[in-house]
Structures are given as C-alpha cells and as structure tokens.
Chain A
C-alpha cells in the first residue's frame, strides 16, 4: 500500500530537514516543473487526478483552480493560502503533516502557486501549533536559501514568496473567507459568496485557499501523474488520506489510508477496536461538525459521496467515537458549546440560535428539561437547517459553521431519541 503523504514520517525515520527531504526525492518535482512544464499542465494533472479538497467540503481542487483568471486576464498579485487553522474538534491530521514533513507542504505550495501563477503565499496556521510554526519557518528559510522560494525560483522567471501567519485562534478563521478577512487584519466574519475567492479573495485579488493536506497531495500528483493518484483510491474517490480516530478505542491515532477504505477497517483495524468494557454507540466520521453514524454504517467506504448519502460528511476524515458509557447528549452539548462559543456573531441563526440549543441541552443534562424543550430543539435546528446550506452565503445562515454545528445534534435526535426521552422522563442523565 502506498503512503505518499507520510513516506517521510515515522518513529524511526529521521526528521526530514531539507537535506533529508531532498535525499528522499523532495523538490525534484519543483525542479522538473517550474519553468519546464506549463502552469496549465500542472492544473490539468490536478484536475484529472480528481483530487478533492481535504479541508472538509471535498470540492474538486482542479475545478476550484480553474476559476482563477490566468495570463493577463487579471494583472496584479494572486495569492495561494494554505489553510492550516485546523480547529475542527477531533482533527489533527494537518498538524502531523506540518510538524513532521514541513517541506512537503512547501513543495506542494510552490507547485500549486505555479499552477495558478500566484506570486505570494501564506500559511495561515492555528496559534496552538507552535511546533509546526517553528518547523515551517525553518523549512521556508532552508528552501529560500536553496532557491526554491523567493525571487526567480531556480533561475526561472517565476517568483513566489511564502509567509507564515499565525492565527489568533478562532475556529471561524478556518472558514476560508473569514480566514481572508483575518489575514487582512479585519474581523473574522465570513464573506459574501459569490464572489468566491478565486475571483475576489485576499485584498480583492484572485486567491486559492486549500487545506494543508490537499496541497501536500499536489507534488505527488504532479510527479507520478493523475492516473497513479486515482488508482490509489479504493472506491470512487482518488488518492490517499490521513484518517484519524479518537475516543475510547484501543489505539487512537492518525493513519494514511486509501480513500474509500471501509470504516470498519479504520475502526477495528488501525484504531484497534473499542477499549475493553466499552461498546460502540456511534461515531462522527469526519470531525465535530459531522453527523453521527452507527454500527450499521461500518461497512461504508470513507468516500465523500458515500458518507454524504447517509446524511453525514467525510469532513476531515478524523472520527470521533462515542462509546456506550458516555452520554450522547452530553457529547452533543459539549460540541454545541464549542460551536456556539466559536460563532463569529454575524448571522442570527448561529449567533443566537446555537446558545439557545446549548441552553436546552444543558437543561437536558441537568434534568431540568420539559417535553416542550424537544419542540424548541426541533424548531431551532430547523432554523439553522442542517442540509439547506450550499457553498453560497445565501441560505439559512451566512456560512456553514452553524449547519455543521448542528449535524451532531440532528443525527443524535435521530439515532439516540430514546436518550432524549429518558433524560426528560427521569429528570436526570442516566450516564452519571
């Protein structure tokens, strides 16, 4: 099984500084590509690879890049931003990639920037990731010294500057347009879409925001070709992905596996199954903003569309496992608490709707809920609308934070309805 993203990573492997990274074949793609292949060529390779964004929404990377005006259609700066904000509850895959192989991200960014002819790049990184920040900064310095970054890369006409920007530490800063506002020094409110960033992004210029993992795939696609990348997937989707599991499993962690790996293989294989004495109640397949699935879904492949069909999302691919001795309502309350706190405060359903939901979940957990509270939960959930959102900012809410925030709640109401009833009937949480 090929693991291109984590080839350089492992307990007994040396840390890939520039020398090691190059020894392992790193930056060869940059050497082979910049000034030698056309930007369109690179874009085509990525399009044909069917790479989908690893930041959560699974948008086709090639398609997104295709919206960037090329040649002289838009003279002036263009930007590439690596979204390294990774604050999704349960997600820590980008951290692994950045801490243990920073040059891979940098190489991915050089190639991606070249493909869209961006001249400036930013890595927008979560403030808690200080180790990754330090390593990226060091790697960027090494890379610049070697001529892979900066003015006239490797003597070609192409120049690309790369900066690391440490986020102020808000979940909403991971939403790509809030990220851009934040990068500009403004309030991290998401922007109106359309226009989308490839048309009007950072400082009003064409901008591509990609997830760290998405960008890390690019050197391998460019080097080995789209066919190779597609062949890595086991089902519909292409490539490999870092999957993770947290919760009461024997071996929580993060593994690079083919797209389309069945959930059961990850949970029972890589994660080693449930800890002794705990049974599986459900799991959030893609992080804290994705809906619960249960054991009936274990044989589904971890593919974007397959998970979407059962009304959850692949998200970041980092599962959170709910065991049978933990209160699902408590878990949902904890998550809603996080999302309500992280709401940017721009639109009403999220800003005021989530705290109300939180309040009711709290009542449930402390035995104060009344039967009518279930109606309020339903009303509030309908207000935010789990499935109504699309990529524009013109649905029930201005951005997908709130719809994501209630995915666990909505699926919990469906799968764990009896728990809600019991909490109300017994006026207490039976898990305590």
Chain B
C-alpha cells in the first residue's frame, strides 16, 4: 500500500487506485463529474483538480486531475490550496455559463450532482453576462425526458449508453460548447438499459418521465429498500412513495447483484402498483355474480366458514411471484398435501433441474459481479436481454476482460477508461450465443447461431462430450453443428474463468442438462468454471426450494380427479400457467375460488372471494433470485383500503380458522423464522435483513428523509390536524422522518450524506468506491454446490432431432423485456413499448401459406380458434413460428409444441405496430 501525502496528512492507500478513488475511499470530499466508479476516468470535466508537488521542496506544484493521477509511493498532493480551489470553482463557473439555472423547475433539483458540486466548490456569484446557448430537446420515448440546456458536457451519458451498455443510438454530436447529447433524430431510445441515464447524468438533462407524471422531490419521497419483481435477477431497488402512490424506482447499490444499474423493466415497470385495476377492497360475489364490497373481517370469516364447511378438498395454489412467507403460510393453511406450487409440471421440472445442478457437483453459480469477471461465456437457449436483462448487461461487461488483460500487459491502469478502450479496440473476450432467435448481445458475440432448443441441446451435449469423453456423445450432428461444437470447445478450453449460461427460456430440460454437462466437463480441468441458470420470475427459485420435497404442481391439480371444493389462489393468474380451457374447466368445478391478488386479472374475474393483496411496495417478504440469493423487500407505504400483504391475509385466515400456531405468526419475522425452520434449504433467510426490533442507537430507521417537507401540510386541505403516522410493526423502518438514516442505517433506502444530495452519495455508504456497502447485508446465498466432483452420470439423454415438420410449425416463445412479464406490462410506460401479438415465420413458410407480413393466420388450440398477425422474418427457421411470450392473446401458445396454420379469412390488419421491438423483416 503506497503512502501518499494529501494536504500535509499522510495516508496509506490502495495501490492501483487513482487519487480521486483514494480520496473518496478515505471519505474525503472532492468534487467530480465525469468519473464514475463503474466506468473509470476520462478527464473531461476537470472538476477533480488538485495540486501535485514534485517533491517536498516544490511549493508551487501543478494542477493535475485526481481521477487521472495514479497514487504511487511518496506522491504529494494538496486539495485545499487556493490555486486548486480556485480552479475547481472556475470549472463550475464556466460550466454555468450556458446552464439555465432553472433549479426550481428542474426535476433533478434536490438530488442534483451539479448543485452539490457547485456548493462544494464554493462558486456563488455568476459574472458571465453574455448570451447563453440553447438546444432543442428530443422525444426519447415513454421513459426519459430530455432537457439539453442543462448539460455540462461531462460525457457520462454516452460513455454509459454506448461504451458500457452497448447502445448505438445515443451520441455526442457537434463540438465546442455546442456539443449535443441525444439521438440522430427524435425517437425511442433503443437500449433496454436507457433508464440508467437518469442516474448517470449528473444534471437534469435525462430525467425520469414516469416520475415526472407525478413529480416529487427526492427529499419528499418516502423510500424503502426493495427487490425488483421484474425477473429472476433480483436487482435491489429503492422504491419511493408520496401521497399513497409509488413514485419511482431508483437503483439501490448492491455490489454482488445489480451494482449501479437496473434494466428499464425494473425501473419503469413498477407502475402497476398505481394501476387503476388495483383491487382496493375485499369482495364476495353475490348470487347475481356481482362483487359486494365487504370488510376484511367479513371476508375472512366468510372464507373461514367456507373452508370449515367445505364438502371436498381445500387446495392452495402458490406462486413464484409471491414471497416465501406467503407461499409458506398458504401451505400451512391448506396442509402440505393440498398445496400446489402454482406452476406447470413442466416449469417445476425445469426449476428442480436447475436446483439439482446448483446443488450437485462443484460448479458454482456466480453473482452478477462474478459474471462480469468471466473470460468466456457460452449462452445456451436463453434470451438474456429479454428474460434476465441485468444479467445481459453483466455478460456485456465480461467481454471486456480481454481488453483489461491487454491493458495490464501495457501497464495502463484499468480506470483509464478511454486509454484501455483505444488500446483494445475490438478485442473482446469470447461470447458464444446458441439461441433460438437473434439476440441483443450479438454485437459483442464471437460466435452466434440460431437453432431450435433440441439442436441447441444436442450441440451442448456434444460440447460436453468433446471436453470430456465420459459425457454422453451425440450421433448424427450436421457438419455445421460439428464445426460449432469444435469452436465452442476451443473457446472454453482456452478460458481461465468460463461461464455457462442457460435457463428455462427455451422451455427445454435438455438444454439445461446440456449446460450442466458442459460446466461439469469443464470443471474437471478448471475449478473456476461457473454456471448461471435463469428462472423466469422473482421468486421462482425460492418457491422451487420451498417445494422441493413436494411434487404437487398446478398441472397435477388440474389433472386430478379428486373433488375439490375450494381453491385459494395466491398472487397467481392461472391463465398464465395452463391453457384457458383447463383453467376455465377447473374453476367451473369449484364451489369457491378464493383469490388473493393485487391487480384484477382473468383469475380474479372467476373468483368468488377476492382479498386485496399488497404489491411489493406495500408489504415485506423474502425472494430468492437466480443465483440462489435470498433478499428481503420492505413495504414503502401502507396499502390503501383493506390492502394487506398476502402473508397477512393468510395469517389472519389461519387465526380465523383458529389454526394452531397462527397466533404466533402475527409478525413477518416469526413467519420467516417458521419458514426457515420448515425447510433446511431455506436456512439463512432470517439473516438476510435485520428484524423488526433492530435499532440503531435506539432508533428505528427513517423511511422519510430528514428534510421531508410539508408532511403537516399534505392533508391540510382536508383537515389541519395531521393524522398520526402509521406504525410499522413489521420492520425496523419507520413511516416517519424521525429516526436514523444514512450510511449507518442498514435499511436506509435514501442515499444521502452531508453535501451529497444526489445518488453519488453512495460512496459514503461503501467500504470503498464500487465496493460492498459497509452496513448492509448483500443477501444470503442459499445454495452452494456440494463440492463432490462432476456428476457426469446424471444427464445422458440426448434429445433426438425434430422430425421435419409435417405441415405444422414448431412454436418458439420470443421474450420481450417490455410485455412478456405479467406485472410490469401493466405499468403504463412499459405497456407503451410492449409489442402487439404476432406470429413470426420464415419467408419460405409464408410463401407456402401465401401470406405476407401484416396478413392474419388462423389456428386452433384445443377448442379455441385463434388469429394472429404475421411477421415474415428471415432470421426465423423454416418450420418454426415465433410468438411473443406472455401477452394475453398468446398465453395458450406457451403450452403448445406446434401449430398448423392457415391464412385467416376476413383479417383486418392493425393500423399501428410497434415494429421496433418486434422482429424486423
């Protein structure tokens, strides 16, 4: 550790850092703009200037940029000599020449890095008296507002958007003080990670349009730590509320998971919380089929009566989008044998297979941070960008490891971002994509092939065999596939830290097995091998673990011949799990269908009793992500009306039924503890976050900021008496501004430190810039491999190639980041970008059917005849048809292997299509 001297004080700092990082790590303040912990330094803004002295006798020194200066033994700096301070003040003053000074109407105000740095440098009075530049703003889509006049030209946006996230439609245009950051023309930003611009831009150029619709200053937001429910990646978010509405989602730093960035589904997909289809009150259907609003107590006693007097079986249907606690309680209520996991047997089988792989052998499942370290990545049958977006962003970083190696050889510090990129140019670590259709990562892939799930699995099995012949061989591979196999083998063998990625996306167990075989085969020679398997939903893996011993699935229930009188459905739209025909038939047989859910949906419409459930924003619970990491999410605000957490409905139902033990399950902590006790696989979930009795210096942790203004005025139009704030008995958080916040408060979702009002304050919460948070648990990994070598015996069944289609087409789901996920699709901004349903077919197929794009095709599934619009797409294989996963009118296709199509008669083409996100022709 080199010793450096700063302002006469001697410090030991980490070798390899630049001075800016070193100072921030020492928790000293130094203003900066263009440096970013994930993106390194470029030296554009000149804000971090300090004086460096040649030696002890040098008393003038020279200006250097802290972010561009390596710390080395004996270097002497000053941050507080007048010349340094004056320079930094000048930087702000010059940036302000063209800045509109519109803080009062700027949505960055109050969390603006430019405001913070202005104050920090001490620039107060403007002396510039000339005219200012003005720019034209652009329409950038439903997520982001653009106000270019506020730009200080720090280049962070383009560095993030293009260099980091791989976007191609945002650039720096023109030059001098006329540099423009935007698109070549107005239009929706293409990157699925564009939303991070809101946090990356240190000014109010890029702001959150969804927040803007009901704008609130950061200091007036009430926030809690939350976990994104958009996919299985489990990104950490800070969710914020005011006036009973969820206002926005911000990134919540977790060095092991999402780091500094979210995907746009996560950031802009929480609007469903405010959806007008929210169920506010309990309802019981009367004899005419209408819902009568009833109180929670009435509803509960009604359900309790029903259950007590039910003639047949009472079953519970769980859900991978509900917390461990809620699933656990439902299981307790209906009894082990009557609990069904809420997913199809197919999906359960895939999840189980994934858990097997994660537990057996010696191959580790990496965190997202570790994914970024991989030096070769093979993706099998998973569209990462559209199913686990943040993972795609991590994989995109992994390809840069090659450039880091080159930089180390050339002795260029890795934080010298531009220099490293210029040195390495297009040299990338290998990324192989074997997917069913064109993938957004292809621009950085060294090899990509599109094939059916069967063929992907066959190639995968063959790769494992070529790596280690104890794994099953594959007969009859085509010459091209054989070549692919050889290339992949070469790439994986050459890697130090190979990573295999797959998941449930292709709905094929063989694909997952093939991925496991490859990982196990590699592991024999390389202990650094890792495997990452994606599950579809925010708690798929958690429910998988909870239900590991229980083989009951929704499919089993639907197929069951038992007389079932009552079903309690927990946060689950069954129509997304099985065919319309099956669900309708099942519901028709029931005496009572009780649904606990937050938003109206097709299942809710069939219910006899509906209990209004909290969304993630109004309750607490534990979720397990792709990696097997258990994380806790907390209520941001209390649900309106009778809304309560599903777990609370279930606890109360248990009590109404006078079930033994339920009285002791009043508090979430005890439910979590019971849940943990019930299942060894969940051991650790109580340690994920502090319990409700946790205090810091005797205080609870504040959800509101210490600057929350006007709490007393909020309801003054109704009554000048301020109502008592709700008391939170479920967590160590309080619904007030009183209490502790900041770095020492582990559950604080409000990133703030004196002088640092913007999200940049996060470095005050970290042990070192970009490093772990000092007082926060990053979650607990529930699954580690057993470490018993490579189980090469396990998967020996190579799928046989699909027989050439006899007139029917194989159905392949195409996932859409905006649209395929149930809940986020019900957020207004996301819905705007969701595709309309379609069926994408190859030109050859289209020719046979005599259809062109925008024509309709018709097919039958069960007893339903469906029509869809055709998209002719040359990247689709003849014999396949791609449909958008998860849209209301394509749900039934998910349970169907193939279809026979014919041209739809009397089809009227839709007038508008959002073709950007659908397959291009």
Contact = CB atoms under 8 A, between A and B. Distances in A.
Nearest to B154: A348
B153 A342 contact: no
A347 B49 CA distance: 12
B888 interface: no
Interface residues of A, number: 43
B178 A345 contact: yes
A341 B176 CA distance: 6
Given A200-B423, A345-B179, A351-B179, A195 B412 contact: yes
Interface in A354-402: 355-356, 359, 372, 376, 379-380, 382-383, 385, 388, 393-398
Contacts, number: 122
A199 B98 contact: no
B175 A204 contact: no
A352 interface: yes
Contacts of B69: 394
B105 interface: no
A353 B45 CA distance: 12
Given A345-B177, A398-B43, A356 B130 contact: yes
Contacts of B5: none
Nearest to B96: A352
Interface stretch (B86-94, B519-527, B832-840): B86-94
A355 B97 contact: yes
Interface in B105-136: 127-128, 130
Contact of B45 (A170, A199, A348, A382): A348
Nearest to A383: B90
B161 to A, nearest CB: 14
Interface stretch (B57-65, B452-460, B575-583, B758-766): B57-65
Contact of B422 (A170, A204, A342): A204
Nearest to B427: A204
A118 interface: no
A393 B62 CA distance: 13
Interface in B390-420: 406, 410, 412, 416, 418-419
B634 to A, nearest CB: 41
B95 A192 contact: no
A398 B67 CA distance: 12
Contacts of B44: 346-348, 398
Contact of A204 (B46, B416, B423): B423
B423 A353 contact: no
Contact of B91 (A204, A349, A356): A349
Interface string B408-443: 001010001011001111010000000000000000
A85 B681 CA distance: 68
A394 B418 CA distance: 14
Given A191-B418, A200-B419, A355-B177, A376 B127 contact: yes
A356 B128 contact: yes
Given A195-B410, A356-B128, A397-B46, A343 B176 contact: yes
Contacts of A191: 418-419, 422
A412 to B, nearest CB: 21
B792 to A, nearest CB: 40
Contact of A396 (B42, B68, B87): B87
Contacts of B91: 348-349
A228 interface: no
A362 to B, nearest CB: 8
B70 to A, nearest CB: 10
B172 interface: yes
B341 interface: no
B42 A195 contact: no
Contacts of B419: 191-192, 194-195, 200
Contact of A359 (B86, B130, B422): B130
B423 A195 contact: yes
A355 B130 CA distance: 10
B90 A379 contact: yes
B46 A192 contact: no
Contacts of B175: 170, 172, 188, 342-345
Residue in B175, B416, B419, B427 whose Cβ sees the most chain A Cβ within 10 Å: B175
Contacts of A204: 406, 422-425, 427
B468 to A, nearest CB: 33
A346 B179 CA distance: 9
Given A195-B423, A344-B176, A393-B68, A351 B62 contact: no
Contacts of B818: none
A107 B799 CA distance: 66
B47 interface: yes
B174 interface: yes
B120 to A, nearest CB: 16
Nearest to B418: A192
Contacts of A372: 127
A200 B422 contact: yes
B65 A394 contact: yes
Nearest to B83: A382
B97 A396 contact: no
A278 interface: no
Nearest to B173: A187
A340 interface: yes
Contacts of B62: 388, 395
Contact of A345 (B95, B174, B422): B174
Contacts of B406: 204
A369 to B, nearest CB: 11
A170 B176 CA distance: 11
Given A195-B419, A349-B91, A356-B97, A187 B172 contact: yes
A362 B176 CA distance: 18
B43 A192 contact: yes
B155 interface: yes
B82 to A, nearest CB: 11
Contacts of B422: 181, 191, 200, 204
B94 A349 contact: yes
Nearest to A186: B422
A203 interface: yes
Interface in A150-203: 170, 172, 181, 187-188, 191-192, 194-195, 199-200, 203
A170 to B, nearest CB: 7
Interface in B136-158: 152-153, 155
Contacts of A352: 94-95, 97-98, 153, 177
Contacts of B153: 345, 348, 351-352
Interface in A391-424: 393-398
Residue in B65, B94, B412 whose Cβ sees the most chain A Cβ within 10 Å: B94
Contacts of B172: 187, 345
Interface of B: 42-47, 49, 62-65, 68-69, 86-87, 90-91, 94-95, 97-98, 127-128, 130, 152-153, 155, 172, 174-179, 406, 410, 412, 416, 418-419, 422-425, 427
18 contacts: A170-B175, A181-B422, A194-B412, A194-B419, A199-B410, A200-B412, A348-B47, A348-B94, A348-B95, A352-B98, A355-B97, A379-B90, A383-B87, A385-B63, A388-B62, A394-B64, A394-B69, A397-B46
Interface of A: 170, 172, 181, 187-188, 191-192, 194-195, 199-200, 203-204, 340-349, 351-353, 355-356, 359, 372, 376, 379-380, 382-383, 385, 388, 393-398
Given A341-B176, A348-B45, A395-B64, 11 more contacts: A191-B418, A194-B419, A345-B174, A348-B94, A352-B98, A352-B153, A359-B128, A382-B86, A383-B94, A395-B63, A398-B44
- Listed from nearest, the 4 A-B pairs whose CB atoms lie closest are A352-B94, A345-B179, A359-B130, A383-B90
